[in-house]
Amino acid sequence: MPKVTFLPEGRTVEFESGKLPSTDHGKRESILDVALAFGIHLEHACGGSCACTTCHVIVKDGTDANLSPQEEDEADRLDMAAGLTLHSRLGCQAVVLGDVTVEIPDWNRNYVSEGGGSINLGNAIPTPKS
């Protein structure tokens, strides 16, 4: 039963692998999918199709063994993320395989706390690769 802790809120959620109801946002059981399933806000302007960077999270614990490996399209997209770190991942692409702790960056939290909803980027989002 993987556990995901979301910082700075410090909320930990747990789910049984393969049994999390899909939110249809991002890869199944990705950090974004888990967050939305438990009512935790994580921005996802492109709907989880690896076409923006708004679901950017910083992995504080569990990077290598407990998340799916980073694929090329995620790495390419992450290069455009604000505040990129060596432990950055896209929440919609990183599938949870074991216990992880992730931090939602300041700019994302501040946007939400100021009453923001999903960001509409209109035509600025390219069509996802097939």
Measured CA to CA, the distance from residue 72 to residue 6 in angstroms comes to 25
Q: Residue 98 CB, nearest distance to ligand FES (Å)?
A: 21
Using only C-alpha atoms, the chain has a radius of gyration, in whole angstroms, of: 13
Amino acid at 74: E
Binding residues for ligand FES, rule CB under 6 A, total 14
Residue 101 is a binding residue for ligand FES (CB under 6 A): no
| Binding of ligand FES by 35 (CB under 6 A) | no
Q: 69: exposed, middle or buried (C-beta count within 10 Å: 0-12, 13-18, 19+)?
A: exposed
Instruction: Report the site for ligand FES in 46-75 (rule: CB under 6 A).
Output: 46, 48, 50-55
Cα angle, residue 29 at apex, residues 23 and 32 outer, rounded to 5°: 65
Q: Which of residues 1 and 23 has its CB atom nearest to ligand FES in the complex?
A: 23
Q: Which residues bind ligand FES (CB under 6 A)?
A: 44-46, 48, 50-55, 77, 90-92
